[in-house]
């Protein structure tokens, strides 16, 4: 393992914490929600669509708030308090998932929790500028995702054992799921405390008498700069399409698997395998980044995801879902980590949060399109596979745009 500084390790720990919440959102929550919806007489296709719409609402909220708060965070001593506020709100939202027993109320709480988590990432991702050097960004970013994958398995395995063994220990499956929400929220909170204690912002814009007004002025300047900087602009366009497909697959994999008849146990165990396999693969791509251009590695990952989407079109057996889970694991960490560090290297450091606010719009915020396409096409056709085909097209467009990015001098 590459020798990490104390602050780099503490930064990585936030990936370990929030990845537990992501794991919860991609495994237990969709299954729990679909069971809630089924009890209310809602069909499998419709519940997948409603979950897609809720995730779309979440990403629209982040798209609206992200650039504004991201710009404000570049003001001296603002980044850490804003990060803390959204992180804590996300943890509270995670714990509050224990409360609703009706599917719509549950979705509302989920939107609040997930939007807060996504907002915290704007400040967290931009901290990469402050905690390491340009030369180490690919490695540190990759290790963040890698340790996030393996670390998230600890609360997930504890939660999974509770849920699968609920009858044996004399509690209901619903109660076991409530405890899983509590375990995840507590894990997320406690592993983040070292970063909250020791992080200090090292790149900033000086505080003015009107920081909020000035943040809007800077926001307009960033928009103008992005329009003129073709390398940043085309990267964001490419990122919009390919990472949108990645996040939609992450968010809706269990829901899609349930629609094609895969059992809950197979879904949960296959996605646990994804986390375990993603750990060494992320470390491997970190090592590759020292020998090969990150641009080439990103293009390989996009092609990998295109193949995954095409394979998913005919998925109808448990072993195929397991195979798909392993394939996702190979590229999942690489495409996210290398995109984050690549973007960090091509933007002005003192405006990192401003730019990462837009990065989040084009990334997690732009997942609005993927989840909406998935939801609408699923409802219109009555089959989730139509939505998966739309995702494949997004990877094609993303690959074309990214190739354009690599040809631009910047």
In a domain, 249, yes or no: yes
Picking from 50, 197, 54, the residue whose alpha carbon sits closest to that of residue 115 is 54
| Complete DSSP assignment for 98-120 | TS--SHHHHHHHHHHHHHHHHHH
Q: In this predicted model, which residue has the larger pLDDT, 33 or 272? A: 33
Q: Indicate the pTM of the whole model.
A: 0.81
**Hunting for tokens 């996210």 — which residue is that?**
336
**Hunting for tokens 């912002």 — which residue is that?**
201
Does the structure show a pLDDT above 60 at 331?
yes
In a domain, 124, yes or no: yes
Question: For position 361, which CATH number holds?
Answer: 1.20.1250.20
**Hunting for tokens 């919009």 — which residue is that?**
240
- Structural domain harbouring 257: 6-406
The per-residue pLDDT for 1 is: 45
3-state DSSP percent of the chain in helix, strand and coil, to 5 = 85, 0, 15
Taking only the tens place, the pLDDT of each residue in 158-210 is: 998 999 899 999 999 899 999 999 999 999 999 999 999 999 988 877 766 67
Instruction: Lowest mean pLDDT of 80-89, 129-138, 361-370, name the range.
Output: 361-370
Taking only the tens place, the pLDDT of each residue in 263-322 is: 878 877 887 888 889 899 999 998 999 899 999 999 999 999 999 989 888 877 778 888
Which residue blocks in 313-345 are alpha helix, DSSP H? 318-345
Task: Give the burial class of 248: count Cβ atoms within 10 A of its Cβ; 0-12 exposed, 13-18 middle, 19 or more buried.
Answer: buried
In a domain, 12, yes or no: yes
- The SS3 assignment for 317 reads coil
In a domain, 358, yes or no: yes
Which residue blocks in 99-172 are alpha helix, DSSP H? 103-126, 128-131, 137-164
The per-residue pLDDT for 410 is: 59
Does the structure show a pLDDT above 80 at 55?
yes
What is the C-alpha separation between 218 and 212, in angstroms, rounded? 10
What is the C-alpha separation between 265 and 57, in angstroms, rounded? 29
Taking only the tens place, the pLDDT of each residue in 235-267 is: 999 999 998 888 777 766 767 677 777 787 887
What is the C-alpha separation between 13 and 15, in angstroms, rounded? 5
What's the number of domains the chain is made of?
1
Number of residues assigned to the chain:
410
In a domain, 1, yes or no: no
């Amino acid at each position: 393992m590459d020798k990490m500084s104390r602050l780099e390790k503490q930064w990585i720990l936030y990936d370990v914490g929030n990845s537990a919440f992501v794991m919860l959102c991609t495994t237990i929550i969709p299954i729990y929600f679909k069971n809630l919806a089924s009890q209310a007489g809602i069909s499998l296709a419709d519940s997948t669509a409603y979950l897609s719409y809720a995730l779309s609402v979440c990403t629209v909220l982040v798209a609206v708030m992200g650039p504004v708060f991201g710009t404000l965070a570049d003001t001296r001593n603002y980044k850490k308090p804003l990060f803390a506020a959204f992180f804590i709100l996300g943890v509270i939202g995670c714990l509050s998932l224990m409360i609703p027993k009706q599917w719509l109320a549950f979705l509302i709480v989920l939107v609040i929790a997930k939007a807060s988590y996504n907002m915290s990432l704007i400040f967290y991702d931009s901290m990469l500028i402050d905690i390491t050097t340009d030369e180490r960004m690919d490695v540190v970013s990759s290790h963040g995702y890698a340790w996030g994958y393996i670390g998230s398995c600890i609360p997930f395995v504890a939660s999974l054992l509770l849920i699968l063994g609920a009858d044996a220990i004399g509690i209901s499956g619903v109660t076991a799921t409530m405890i899983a929400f509590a375990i995840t929220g507590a894990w997320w909170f406690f592993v983040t405390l070292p970063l909250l204690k020791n992080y200090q912002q090292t790149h900033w814009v000086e505080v003015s008498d009107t920081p909020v007004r000035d943040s809007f002025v800077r926001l307009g300047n960033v928009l103008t700069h992005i329009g003129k900087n073709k390398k940043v602009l085309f990267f964001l366009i490419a990122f919009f399409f390919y990472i949108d497909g990645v996040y939609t697959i992450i968010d809706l994999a269990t829901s899609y698997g349930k629609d094609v008849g895969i059992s809950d146990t197979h879904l949960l165990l296959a996605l646990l395998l994804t986390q375990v396999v993603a750990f060494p693969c992320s470390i491997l791509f970190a090592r590759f980044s020292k020998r090969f251009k990150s641009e080439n590695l990103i293009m390989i990952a996009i092609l990998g995801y295109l193949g995954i989407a095409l394979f998913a079109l005919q998925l109808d057996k448990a072993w195929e879902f397991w195979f798909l889970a392993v394939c996702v694991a190979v590229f999942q960490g690489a495409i996210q980590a290398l995109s984050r560090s690549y973007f960090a290297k091509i933007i002005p450091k003192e405006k990192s949060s401003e730019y990462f606010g837009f990065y989040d719009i084009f990334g997690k915020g732009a997942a609005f399109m993927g989840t909406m396409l998935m939801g609408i096409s699923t409802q219109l056709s009555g089959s989730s596979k139509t939505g998966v085909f739309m995702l494949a097209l997004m990877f094609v467009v993303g690959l074309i745009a990214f190739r354009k990015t690599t040809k631009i001098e910047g």
